[in-house]
Amino acid sequence: MAQRCFALIPAAGAGARAGAPSPKQYVPLNGEAMLVHTIRAFIRSPAIAAVRVVLSADDTWGSSADAASIRAEAGTRLGFVQAGGASRARSVANGLEALAAEAAADDWVLVHDAARPCITPAMIGGLIDTLADDPVGGLLAWPVPDTLKRADASGRVEATIAREGLWLAQTPQMFRIGLLRAAYAAAPGVTDEAGAVEALGHAPRLCLGSARNLKVTYPADFELATAYLRLAD
């Protein structure tokens, strides 16, 4: 692969649904902040040239003991961008602008949720290998395993939705930096990178992810993520 691969991790959210006393990315899992586990997977991926973490402008986590620990492992490959926005999309867009100062437009960027700490170097490497020559890029995703129900306003089943062909979007989502910057400029309100690229008329590739690559969203997810991380130790 001629192009370099960068990782961009937006970590400026509050994670209100998680019910944690602090932003969920800083909640300890197995003795370390969730964000440390997330960063470490990319630092241990040899194809990743550098990792950039987007924090809020007033966030001091970058000078914390947890951050110092992962900095010691990462060296100069890890950097923090104090440019978080009011939404995930804004944080990613701001992070891409900062990344453009050190990367080429045809370099790849893997955008990954800070709250997916169970990602592994093997998953990251598999995504990079699959998309190395892809003209668009793509994302890790997981086929929907359960029957889907649409609820009405009273909380009763309104319809059953066929799950055939439906996938749960995960991260990393991997696209060329120039394309993704243009996509976010054209569709700033999207909820993920693939959605922005789709809005430009492209069809991102779905790459098989893993059930363990869960996004910690609700209180019960902390226990499940901790269990997965212990299995990996």
pLDDT at 12 (0 to 100): 92
β pairing state of 137-143 and 205-208: parallel
pLDDT at 14 (0 to 100): 63
**pTM, two decimal places:** 0.93
pLDDT at 2 (0 to 100): 75
pLDDT at 233 (0 to 100): 61
Euclidean distance between CA atoms 90 and 81, whole angstroms: 13
State the CB neighbour count (10 A cutoff) for residue 216.
28
Nearest to 76 by CA among 43, 47, 101: 43
Query: Which tokens hold the place of 130?
Result: 């699959």
Q: pLDDT digit string (tens) for 110-135?
A: 999 999 999 999 999 999 999 999 99
The architecture of the domain spanning 5-232 is Alpha-Beta Complex (3.90)
Euclidean distance between CA atoms 11 and 33, whole angstroms: 12
**Tens-of-pLDDT digits for all 233 residues of the chain?**
579 999 999 999 765 554 455 789 999 999 999 999 999 999 999 999 999 999 999 999 989 988 999 999 999 999 999 999 999 999 999 999 999 999 999 999 999 999 999 999 999 999 999 999 999 999 999 999 999 999 999 999 999 999 999 999 999 999 999 999 999 999 988 999 999 999 999 999 999 999 999 999 999 999 999 999 998 76
β pairing state of 108-111 and 137-143: unpaired
The number of C-alpha atoms within 13 Å of 211 and in the hemisphere containing its C-beta is 6
Euclidean distance between CA atoms 91 and 51, whole angstroms: 15
